[in-house]
């Protein structure tokens, strides 16, 4: 399930922000008229922009907005346990089926930012054909997404998160079919760990830009008899696989080595908890010649529901 626009932004707040330039007290001076005109021409598509290198934001993890203003979010994963028994045989607890639960609790934190501009800046921007409010809100959107991407990466690239990882002496030094073998073997290892249960099987690899470029560059055949690249071979043999680049996967740990995360983006494996998506405040006038807009969001972060749904390939 891909990340949805409505799960990342408070759409009502955006609409109020766009209308706020025409509120009472803003249109009785030239600056107010200019501001209202600029807000009217803010392109709503700016909130759907995807920025480069935000692999975790763009991977397709489900964003869950439940919780609102709660301070903690609790998740419960149930597993069936027990067995059937022959009728009337109740010895040693036979014939009993129960649910075994595993709880996880994550804290929710509030984050906020503000932008301020003055009367002169609005007019100077208009003379240059620049919609200043739009530029500022674009910046809020971009940094919001960057912040969430890093929060997810910090958890998802931690070996302890998944409990499963393999070491490779240096997969950056491998070429051609050896490079293919490292990634194909790791992918099938993760699949085996979840008994080939579809929703738990890794459908995404996130690694450093340098490694992604090598997968796209290196040919599978050592002797050059095949024009198929390692990347093309992986996608041909593992249909539906996506490979994404993230600078967060480069230079990890004290050894400063690249890593690769093999993960399922299914909501049964993990969710991004954002109880309050990015909310844009209305424009206010703290002084007669200045304007202020604030934004905020509340986030719990990366909520892991199935630990075997991910696997780390690391270099040592």
Q: Is the pLDDT of residue 29 over 50?
A: no
Per-residue confidence at 34, pLDDT binned at 50, 70, 90? very low
pLDDT at 163 over 70: yes
- DSSP string of 142-188? HHHHHHHHHHHHHHHT-HHHHS-EEEES-TTS--HHHHHHHHHHHHH
In degrees, rounded to 5, the angle at the alpha carbon of residue 200 between the alpha carbons of residues 194 and 202 is: 95
Question: Whole-angstrom Cα distance, residue 65 to residue 7?
Answer: 6
Confidence band, pLDDT 50/70/90 cuts, at residue 256? confident
For helices 230-237 and 176-193, angle between their N-to-C axes, nearest 10 degrees:
30
Name all domains of the chain by residue range, CATH numbers in brackets. Answer: 5-72+105-156+270-301 (3.30.2400), 163-268+307-315 (3.30.2320.10)
Q: Quote the pLDDT of residue 24.
A: 46
Residue with tokens 């490694």, as numbered in its chain: 211
Residue 314 pLDDT > 60: yes
Task: Tell which wins on pLDDT, 82 or 190.
Answer: 190
166: β partners: 313
Give the pLDDT band (50/70/90) at residue 88.
Answer: low
């Amino acid at each position: 399930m891909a990340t949805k626009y409505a799960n990342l932004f408070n759409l009502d707040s955006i609409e109020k922000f766009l209308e706020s330039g025409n509120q009472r007290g803003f249109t009785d001076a030239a600056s107010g008229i200019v501001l209202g005109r600029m807000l009217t021409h803010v392109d709503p598509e700016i909130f759907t922009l995807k920025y480069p290198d935000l692999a975790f934001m763009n991977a397709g993890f489900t964003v869950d907005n439940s919780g609102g203003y709660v301070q903690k979010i609790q998740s419960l994963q149930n597993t069936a346990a027990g067995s059937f028994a022959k009728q009337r045989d109740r010895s040693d607890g036979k014939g009993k089926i129960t649910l075994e639960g595993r709880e996880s609790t994550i804290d929710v934190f509030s984050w906020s930012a503000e932008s301020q501009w003055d009367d002169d800046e609005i007019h100077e921007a208009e003379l240059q054909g620049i919609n200043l409010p739009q530029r500022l809100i674009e910046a809020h959107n971009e940094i919001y997404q960057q912040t969430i991407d890093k929060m997810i990466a910090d958890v998802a690239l931690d070996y302890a998160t998944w409990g499963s990882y393999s070491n490779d002496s240096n997969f950056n030094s491998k070429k051609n079919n050896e490079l293919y073998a490292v990634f194909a073997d790791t992918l099938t290892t993760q699949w085996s760990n979840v008994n080939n249960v579809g929703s738990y099987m890794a459908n995404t690899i996130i690694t450093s830009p340098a490694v992604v470029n090598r997968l796209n560059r290196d040919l599978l055949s050592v002797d050059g008899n095949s024009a198929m690249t390692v990347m093309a071979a992986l996608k041909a043999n593992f249909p539906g696989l996506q490979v994404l680049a993230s600078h967060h996967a480069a230079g990890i740990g004290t050894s400063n080595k690249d890593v690769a995360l093999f993960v399922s983006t299914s909501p049964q494996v993990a969710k991004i908890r954002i109880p309050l998506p990015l909310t844009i405040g209305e424009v206010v006038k703290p002084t007669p010649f200045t304007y202020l807009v604030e934004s905020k969001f509340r986030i719990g972060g990366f909520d892991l529901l199935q630990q075997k749904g991910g696997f780390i390939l690391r270099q040592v």
